[in-house]
Amino acid sequence: MSAAKVVIVDDEVEFASTLSERLTLRNYDAKAVYCAEDAFTIARKDQPDVVLLDMKMPGMSGTEICGIIKQFNPAIQVIMLTGESGSEILPEIAEEDVFDYVMKPVDIEELTRKIDSALKKAAALKQMDEHGSR
C-alpha cells in the first residue's frame, strides 16, 4: 500500500515545510502549500487523504477553505491547526465537516495519532463508496 497522502496548508513557510519534512520521516507522503489557492489545486490534482489546515490564513479562514476542499472531494479528511484550545474553536469547526483539530505548537505524537485515525475513516468511506458503486 502506498504512503498516505498528507497536505499541510499554512502561510508560515518554515512551519509548514518543517512539519512536512518530519511527517515524511515518519513515512507519510507529505507536502506543504502556503496559500489557499495552492491548497485547492493540490486537493483537486493530488487527491490527498488528509489535509492539515491552518485556522487563520490570510484572506480566508480555515473553515472556509475546508468547505471548498470538501466540495472537490468529500472523502478528504481535514484536521485543523489552531492556536486556540478546544472549547473555544469547537463551535466554529462544528459547522464544517472537520475530522479533528490539533493545537499549535504541534505535538507530533498527537498529530500522527490523529492523522492515522483520519486515514482509517477515509479508508472506511472509500470502501463504502466502492461497495455502493458496484
Which residues contribute to the site for other proteins (CB under 8 A)? 12, 14-15, 18-19, 21-22, 25, 56, 83-88, 91, 103-106, 108
Q: Which is nearer to other proteins, 89 or 122 (CB)?
A: 89
How near is the Cβ of 26 to other proteins at its closest, in Å?
8
How near is the Cβ of 11 to other proteins at its closest, in Å?
9
Which residues, at least 6 apart from 33, have a Cβ–Cβ distance to it below 8 Å? 7, 8, 9, 16, 39, 42
Q: Which is nearer to other proteins, 109 or 130 (CB)?
A: 109
97 phi-psi bin (left φ>0, alpha ψ -120 to 50, beta other): beta
Give the integer Cα–Cα distance in Å for 10 and 32: 8
Q: What are phi and psi of 40, to 5 degrees?
A: -65, -45
How near is the Cβ of 12 to other proteins at its closest, in Å?
5
Q: Which is nearer to other proteins, 95 or 129 (CB)?
A: 95
Distance between the two ends of the chain, CA-based, in angstroms?
A: 22
How near is the Cβ of 18 to other proteins at its closest, in Å?
4
Q: Which is nearer to other proteins, 90 or 124 (CB)?
A: 90
SS3 content of the chain, % helix, strand, coil (to 5): 50, 20, 25
